Amino acid sequence: MTDIIIGIDLGTTNSEVAVIRDGRPQLLEVDGSHILPSVVGLADDGTLLVGQAARNQYVLYPERSIRSVKRRMGEDVTLPMGDTSYSPQEISALILKRLKRAAEEQLGESVGKAVITVPAYFSDAQRQATRDAGELAGLEVVRIINEPTAAALAYEVDATEPRTILVYDLGGGTFDCSVVRAGGDVTEVLASHGNNHLGGDDFDAKLIEHVVNYLKTEHDCDPSAERRAMARITRACETAKIALSDAPYARIEEEYLLPDRDPPINLSLEISRIDYEAMIEGYIDETLEAVHTALKGAELTVADIDEVVLVGGATRTPLIQERLEETLGMQPRAEIDPDLCVAAGAAIQAAVMAGETTHSVLVDITPYTFGTSAVGEMGGMFYPHCFIPLIRKNSPIPITKSKGFTTMVDGQDAVDIHIYQGEDPDALNNTEIGEFKVEGLSDVPAGNVIVMRFELDLDGILKVTATEKRTGLEKHIAIDNAMTRFESQGLDAAKQRLAALIDDEPAEGASAADAETEEHRQQVKAKALLEKAERLLASASAEDKEDLIDLIEAVRDTLAADDQDGLERSVAALSDLIYYLES
């Protein structure tokens, strides 16, 4: 039997361990989680703490806690913890030891070998320090591999053709962007660029600054010097930041934040995603510049990139995904948990070295994009049916995403909600899979916020909820088989679209039922044609516009009057005009 080799992602903020089981990478649990915070500390009584417990005490007892030790690897320094000082290798070894023990507990056998990942920019000294840490932990480090290489391996393990992959890795405290050539026999990093001091912690810092300023102006108090209060604010801000990745608003609430004040200060502050995004935009710009620098370093252009792969917890920030898609013209891949894919890649490398066969990471994803429609801008014009995706294709499921929308007119008392599946920016070109109306909205000026929430579960049930933010008035629907119904619905929609183009006569001798279906078909076709005609209005010449408006009205009148013959005639005339305008 071959020795087990574990794969370890020894991160600045968090670390993970994985192995290959039944040919597939599997993350192992440490203290009930797949993620072990890379923090080491000593408790009150001198007991060693590694992971979450050490992280929890860090803000209160920094003198007996150490975090971000990875930043010090390769340096000739000692780091104080309690009464003793330790080398960075020794502290890293404590983290590795915890991972090794967790692996042994779960695998039921001793583990002596590991593949450990390091950033592509790590120097020889830093790599050697990592090996030494492994040895101190009782692990033979059979290979050190670059983190972006590991991420590429996790995604491309089955690929036979070489592919060029951009790995965008934004963790808690570091950012790296690498261009990797993967597949075939060799996987190599062509170029790498980044910032060793940029990450999700900086996003937290922006929110913390915002909260402190709020307390200064609204409550006339400055908590900056109060450790306990700042620790609570820091934790609450990170929680709010994570919530804002899936929801348009988050509330930071800390009761008795400053209990000694008279009266005691309770913090309650709402942050919108839009305001938060404005705070972090500068950081994201910086990462995008680094993407271009890395591409330049590899002597490639955006057009040479086959895939963009997201790594690191902070890449769950929707603005990052949007900006990358905008810049690179492709949807970044995030189906493998961005916290875990480096460890999964390390496990794949470990298995390859042990001579085992491996397959790609299997995750449940939605193959379709789901969203709603709203008035927006398309081609420089206002258009009422812009598609607004909420759940993007290839997202791991189950998943919940929400987004805020606003009413268009003063006193608007209802909104019609349409739910679509598809990719087209024009919602009408996608498949409508559900529809409902929210009535009884407050009588307030335009801008009343309606929060839409999409929840897609493992059974493919999509629950869509619309909530009036100011009152909590809510309405929802559940769409069964949201993922499988598309096949037939998509066909129906395609048929309808074709029907609108081809003016075929019903077959002779059609039955009453057929006639009824035919009538329905004509109506669907007429409505599709109307939508199309309305869109063409914007670009039509004055003369054509007049003809279009006449025919649109004719179709509308015959539809309203349920005049089947008249409808057929007016639809044919409108069809002809559209054909003429489009050709």
Site residues (vs ligand AMP, CB under 6 A) = 11, 13-14, 171-172, 199-201, 238, 241-242, 245, 312-314, 316-317, 339
Of the residues 16, 90, 132, 147, only one is catalytic, namely 147
Q: Which is nearer to ligand AMP, 172 or 371 (CB)?
A: 172
Q: Which is nearer to ligand AMP, 238 or 544 (CB)?
A: 238
Smallest separation (angstroms) from ligand AMP to the CB of 237: 9
Q: Which is nearer to ligand AMP, 171 or 389 (CB)?
A: 171
Contacts of 268 (CB under 8 A, 6+ apart): 251, 252, 253
**If residue 486 lies in a helix (H) or strand (E), which one and from where to where?**
helix 485-501
Smallest separation (angstroms) from ligand AMP to the CB of 207: 11
Amino acid at 532: K
Smallest separation (angstroms) from ligand AMP to the CB of 242: 4
CB atoms within 10 A of CB 361: 23
Residue 418 near residue 438 (C-beta atoms within 8 A): no
Q: Which is nearer to ligand AMP, 234 or 522 (CB)?
A: 234
Of the residues 90, 132, 156, 169, only one is catalytic, namely 169
Smallest separation (angstroms) from ligand AMP to the CB of 239: 9
CA dihedral (348, 25, 365, 321) positive or negative: negative
* Strand intervals (E) in 157-248: 163-170, 175-182, 188-195
Contacts of 285 (CB under 8 A, 6+ apart): none
Smallest separation (angstroms) from ligand AMP to the CB of 514: 53
Q: Is 9 a catalytic residue?
A: yes
How many angstroms separate the CA atoms of 389 and 376, rounded? 13
Amino acid at 373: S
Q: Which is nearer to ligand AMP, 240 or 530 (CB)?
A: 240
Q: What is the number of the residue whose Cβ is closest to ligand AMP?
A: 200
Q: Which residues pair with 475 in a beta bridge?
A: 466
Q: Which is nearer to ligand AMP, 15 or 412 (CB)?
A: 15
Q: Is 124 a catalytic residue?
A: no
Q: What is the CB-side half-sphere exposure of residue 561 using CA atoms within 13 A?
A: 13
Smallest separation (angstroms) from ligand AMP to the CB of 213: 21
Q: Which two tokens stand for residue 418?
A: 């349409």
Smallest separation (angstroms) from ligand AMP to the CB of 169: 8
> Residue 496: exposed, middle, or buried by beta-carbon count in 10 A (0-12, 13-18, 19+)?
middle
Amino acid at 473: L
As a whole number of Å, the end-to-end CA separation of the chain is: 70
Smallest separation (angstroms) from ligand AMP to the CB of 238: 5
Q: Which two tokens stand for residue 197?
A: 């001091």
Q: Which is nearer to ligand AMP, 11 or 389 (CB)?
A: 11
Q: Of the candidates 11, 3, 4, which has an alpha carbon nearest to the alpha carbon of residue 340? A: 11
Q: Which is nearer to ligand AMP, 272 or 496 (CB)?
A: 272
Of the residues 16, 70, 176, 525, only one is catalytic, namely 70
Contacts of 312 (CB under 8 A, 6+ apart): 169, 170, 171, 172, 175, 199, 200, 338, 339
Residue 452, SS3 per DSSP: strand
Q: Which is nearer to ligand AMP, 119 or 460 (CB)?
A: 119
Question: What string of DSSP letters covers 352-409?
Answer: HHTT----PPP--B-SS-EEEEEEEEETTEEEEEEEEEEE-TT-BSSEEEEEEEE-SS
Contacts of 117 (CB under 8 A, 6+ apart): 7, 8, 9, 10, 144, 145, 146, 147, 150, 342, 343, 345, 346
Question: What string of DSSP letters covers 16-67?
Answer: EEEEEETTEEEEPPBTTBS-EESEEEE-TTS-EEESHHHHHHHTT-GGGEEE
Smallest separation (angstroms) from ligand AMP to the CB of 45: 29
Catalytic residues: 9, 70, 147, 169
